[in-house]
Structure 1
Amino acid sequence: MDNEVIIVLDCGATNLRAIAVNASGRIVAKQTAANQTESDSQHSQWHIWSLENIMNQLNQCARALMPQLSDYQVVALTVTTFGVDGTLIDAKGNLLHPIISWKCPRTIEVMESIDKYIDAKRLQSISGVGSFSFNTIYKLIWLKENHPELIDKAHAWLFISSLINYRLTGVTSTDRTMAGTSQLLDIHQEQFSQEILDAIGLNADLFPPMVQASEPIGVLREKAARELGLKKPVPVISTGHDTQFALIGSGAQPNQPVLSSGTWEILMARTTAIDTQSLSNYPGSTCELDACSGLFTPGLQWLASGTLEWVRELFWPKEAKPDVYQQMIEAARQVPAGCEGLQMQGSLLNPASHPGWQGLALNTQRAHFYRAALEHLAQTLSDNLLTLEAIAHFKSEQILMVGGGTRNPLWNQLKANATGKTLKILDEPETTVLGAAMFAFAGIKRYDSIAQAQAGFEHHYHYIQPSH
């Protein structure tokens, strides 16, 4: 099977990519193009996505792959992308409104006034998804309030992965993992909630049939195959929301917490149970459907490397990146644990938590501030791990870690110490692509199950133990 490859079309908010992966999980070739939002003609501060630009760039990336794949057979294709976004289409597949981006501020007021439709806590208890202004529900309410005629004439709502899949196959579908990000599902029933739809005045038939990850959507249309540079049509297999497939691609097993560490840190787990009634008690909490039926992916998120960048800009403003990061780490290593009394408190994004510093002294230096921020973030992880274990009813022994934040060895050690857990750090950055490829290979029966695909893909880890 090693000469067979899946083409993963990865539509990210920053980059559009076509990546070829073989059945052992080896990335054979990749091509990348930039992606960015456009300003909406209705308002200069509003953000939209151009589906035409996305398709053109993905096609160009795929065509650029082909000379590198002369010794390989492309056996299927799959699409993964960011969550929540989509738009209404007519019966011919034409967009009735531009795709409102998750970056767009127009839906903030909708979220803030959601109680006129349904109680916000009730909404999260049904859907699992936290109150984020970019959620699909707020886009649909905005369209209903501002362009009700479009709702009336719409043939369907398609999430952005399904829009791409429709262009590829001519088949309308609802991507299950994308639907799980929408705040429209009854997460326990894995179907659109009639209570939520009734509250906002929408019909369930607005959404095409839901497809599971690894389920074939259709076969590439001949025109689409030519535009991608493929010699013949191949099956298009459903994957979808990038977060869920990153979890699978990391090798995460059920009830194993996974920390994605970057500007934000998101602590997630693939669990068999979730107490959605309590989620609204925890700021930044959310829960979506796992890529595998019957599992959930609860998560908690907080500003992480973004906080450390704020410290760098305050105290190391002139030092050049990336060398400055090693300077900061080495300086912080010289500061004893506890930072000689200096503590960072609260969240920079939550004024109610009274963020600031306590314990300043005449000997306090910039390295103290950096180490105090690292210690604070490590303790935040520890606190949130206990919360996640409580709401999802599991106990962990290790934390699986992915993302750019894992390249900071001091921060890693502080996290291990604060949690008392072994850190299992994945050395492969392309977790989303690998996870999508696993499902695609399972979808064409090269693997009998996702568990078998996970076992068949190569993963390389290194470990950090608590030092006390």
Structure 2
Amino acid sequence: MPKGDIVIVFDCGATNVRAIAINSKGSVIASESLPNSPSPDPFYPAYRIWNVEEIWKKMCIASGKVVSRINKGNIAGITVTTFGVDGTLFDKNGKMLYPVISWQCERTNPVMENIGKYIPLVDLYKITGVLPFTFNTINKIIWFTENKPDLTEKSSMFLFMPSIFSYFLTGEMINDTTMAGTSMLTELPSRQFSVEVLDRIGFPAEKFGRIVEPGTLTGTISKKASLETGIKAGTPVVATGHDTQFAIFGSGAEKNQPVLSSGTWEILMVRSENFESGKEQLDLSITTELDSRPGLYDIGCQWIASGIIEWARKTLFGDIKKHVYETMISGAEKVPAGCNGVKVVPKFYEELKGKPEGRITGLTLESTRDEIYRAILESLSQRLADGKEVLEKAGRFRAESILCVGGGSKNRLWNRLRADYTGVPVKIIDQKETTVLGASLFVQAACGNASSPEEAGKAINYKTEIVEPGTR
């Protein structure tokens, strides 16, 4: 194994394709980013796909620039992270049979709506723990079997997105558990694909091939990939996978410590030894995915958050041209708790339960935009408290604090409200690249620089600000 401590993480997101060099202390020493977006399906122009060849070219360009800025001899290993669920069919010769259907594509909407013709939704959720999102992998597999049965029959392997790029790097076709766990096709306790579910939809389990745990050495950089990426041939490639799981791990979250990723949407997830996937959890919109470590489950819920704040900025504070967010925060800080009767129902967008039901109540002729903005923050803080409670019940634990990362963690008033409404300290993590960091820790361990990803994590100096309840 190489003795260097630099990990190259290829990270494919919905808007950017990146190559990032990060060392064993968690410091990013070089990075390069190129834009990404879905493309029209060449066979159905109204639908959306990911052009993986184009993404691969961008990865190679980004890698070449990153590698030129570092000492190649210090590269310990390589890994790939992407968003969940997406992938496609390959034949026995390694040829991709159809473009990768994007999670943003609407072709699978009717599949999810009619999933009951294959298996009752309550039963499917009980087995897999994954909420019935229209973009789930199960819907893509069914779309293939219903619309492209010849390709399904011809296929030898379904590869998820990280595995596709790992295949381009190594020539090896291997899927990982964290991506499998987003598919709505796996059994939670076994960390394997559900034969019952796959039998119901008529897709053989063997077409997913060997499923490996994160931190598994899946191959080495091929000579062809070396020429394309600038990375030395023979460099180890290590499985990681779904970005969310590695963001949680990279945040430093311990077992039973919820992590709030606050952006346009807020995602609250916790690593727990327990889970529940009954009708109650389905009705509460709880999703459960496989953690990056065996024996743990990532229980989560989500809601729109900063998307509502952006609506308030544009609608109520459009006249403020400079320091608009500070103006919004400082104004809201002067408003008393309860916002003089103004209340907000923050259901401006509901993914699973039909039409949005957002509303503002309690307005009078004296109501101000500062009251409305604070009411938004209070309602979102209550939503966090509700989310914390349902996760505690599903995972059978009691949270002692909440870690907070992302752009929404920079709002001081919001952080105080979060602590007050949840009744526990909110710890603000000053770590922008939690996905990349988390994935890199698995590579450090796989390449012999640490005995485990957890041991590798001890080298990271997390800068944490703690906001205690009762400070608003």
Q: Please report the TM-score for the alignment, with normalisation by the length of structure 2.
A: 0.96
Kept in 2, the 8 Å contact 1:177–1:241? The answer is yes
Is 1:338 equivalent to 2:353 in the alignment?
A: no
SS at match of 2:49: strand
Could you give the per-residue CA deviations for residues 367-421 of structure 1, whole angstroms, max 9, x where no partner exists?
Answer: 1111111100000101110111001111111101111100111111111111111
Amino acid aligned to 2:329: I
What residue is the counterpart of 2:44 in the other structure?
43
Alignment of 1:66-465 (within 5 A): 66-70=67-71, 73-278=74-279, 280-320=281-321, 323-345=323-345, 347-350=347-350, 354-465=357-468
Q: What is the CA-CA distance between 1:458 and the residue it aligns to?
A: 2.3
SS at match of 1:260: strand
Aligned CA distance change for structure 1 residues 226 and 354 (closer, same or farther; 3 Å): closer
Output one character per residue of 1:308-329: Cα deviation in whole Å (capped at 9) or x when no partner. 1122222123433x72111111
Contact 1:278 1:391 in 2 (8 A): no
| Distance (Å, rounded) in 2 between the aligned partners of 1:130 and 1:147 | 25
Pairs aligned (count): 467
Q: What whole-Å deviation, never above 9, does each CA across 1:110-162 have from its counterpart, x for those lacking one? A: 11111111111111111011111110000010111111111100011000111
Identify the range of structure 1 (409-418 vs 277-286) with the bigger mean alpha-carbon deviation: 277-286
1:140–1:407 Cα change, 3 Å: same
In structure 1, C-alpha distance between the alignment counterparts of 2:461 and 2:26, rounded to whole Å: 6
The equivalent residue for 1:15 is 16
Question: Which residue identity lines up with residue 215 of structure 2 in the other structure?
Answer: S
- Secondary structure (helix, strand or coil) at the match of 2:68 reads helix
State the alpha-carbon separation in 1 of the partners of residues 280 and 66 from structure 2. Answer: 44
Q: What's the CA shift for 1:42?
A: 3.1
CA deviation string 1:248-287 (max 9, x = no partner) = 1000111111101001001100000101124644443211
Aligned partner letter, 1:296: Y
Distance in 2 between residues matched to 1:279 and 1:442, nearest whole Å: 39
In the alignment, the residues of structure 2 paired with residue 2 and residue 302 of structure 1 have an alpha-carbon distance, to the nearest angstrom, of: 43
- How far apart, CA to CA, are the structure 2 residues paired with 1:228 and 1:25? 23
Equivalent-residue separation in structure 2 for 1:103 and 1:198 (angstroms): 27
Alignment partner of 1:91: what SS? Answer: coil
> Tell me, what secondary structure is at the counterpart of 1:205?
helix
Corresponding residue SS for 2:47: strand
Q: Which amino acid aligns with 1:463?
A: I
Pick which of 101-110 and 71-80 moved more.
71-80
The whole-number CA distance in structure 1 between the counterparts of 2:108 and 2:85 is: 13
In the alignment, the residues of structure 1 paired with residue 294 and residue 174 of structure 2 have an alpha-carbon distance, to the nearest angstrom, of 17
8 Å Cα contact 2:218/2:238 also seen in 1: yes
Q: Distance in 1 between matches of 2:221 and 2:68?
A: 20
* Range that drifts further, 71-80 or 328-337: 71-80
CA shift, 1:438, in A, is 0.1
Question: 1:45, CA displacement in angstroms?
Answer: 3.0
Deviations 1:172-210 (A, max 9, x none): 111111000000001121111111111111111111100
Partner SS for 1:77: strand
CA contact (8 A) 1:121 1:280 kept: no
Q: Which runs of no fewer than 5 residues in structure 2 stay unpaired?
A: none
CA drift at 1:354: 4.2
Structure 1, unmatched stretches of 5+, are none
Q: Deviations over 1:311-357 (max 9, x none)?
A: 2222123433x721111111111211100011112512246784312
- When structure 1 is superposed on structure 2, of 310-319 and 191-200 the one drifting more is 310-319
**Further displaced range: 436-445 or 326-335:** 326-335
Q: Which amino acid aligns with 1:32?
A: S
Cα distance per residue 1:277-306 (max 9 Å; x no partner)? 246444432110000011100101001111
Find the aligned partners of 1:29 and 1:416 in 2 and give their Cα distance. 36
- Shift of the alpha carbon at 1:70? 2.9
Name the TM-score, length of structure 1 as normaliser: 0.97
What amino acid is the match of 1:93? G
Shift of 1:82: 0.6
Choose 304-313 or 174-183, whichever is displaced more. 304-313
Give the Cα separation in 2 of the matches to 1:343 and 1:304: 15
